[in-house]
């Protein structure tokens, strides 16, 4: 069975959903306990900078520019290789679940992070 990188909204997880859970938001989501989320890793260092997040504000017309800036930030991150190695190791046995709290399902950092990870893992 092949495992993949999935995106899930933190608030929509089914109780029995399995996979390696990575929270991709810089801030902890409101109303969710750490025990309930059963998090495996919190990638807050990989999240967009507060300035970029505030500028973007999940506006669809800014998503392309956000994506460009965020990809540059990810490529410059010191721990990028370690994060990719960890995800590659996890994918041998589990799905990687990128968890986000934003309401917008299409224009959020998890979408960009998923594409970035897939590209780096398939080099």
pTM: 0.89
pLDDT score at 12: 82
CA dihedral 102, 9, 46, 70 (to 10 degrees): -50
Q: Quick check: 2 pLDDT over 80?
A: no
Domain count, the chain: 1
Domain extent for 25 = 5-121
> Is 47 within 8 Å of 23 (Cβ atoms)?
no
pLDDT score at 105: 79
Integer Cα distance of 5 and 12 in angstroms: 17
pLDDT score at 38: 85
pLDDT score at 13: 75
Cβ count within 10 A of residue 3: 14
Tens-digit pLDDT profile for residues 67-112: 999 999 999 999 999 999 999 999 999 999 999 988 887 888 999 9
pLDDT interval class at 22 (50, 70, 90): very high
Tens-digit pLDDT profile for residues 27-41: 899 888 888 888 999
């Amino acid at each position: 069975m092949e495992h993949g990188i999935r995106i899930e909204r933190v608030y929509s997880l089914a109780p029995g959903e399995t996979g390696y859970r990575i929270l991709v938001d810089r801030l902890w989501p409101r109303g969710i306990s750490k025990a309930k989320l059963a998090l495996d890793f919190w990638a807050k260092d990989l999240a967009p900078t507060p300035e970029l997040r505030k500028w973007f504000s999940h506006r669809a017309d800014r998503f392309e520019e956000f994506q460009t800036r965020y990809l540059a930030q990810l490529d410059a991150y010191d721990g990028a290789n370690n994060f990719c190695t960890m995800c590659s190791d996890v994918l041998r046995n589990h799905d990687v679940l990128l968890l986000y709290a934003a309401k917008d399902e299409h224009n959020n950092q998890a979408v960009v992070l998923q594409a970035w990870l897939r590209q780096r893992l398939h080099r």
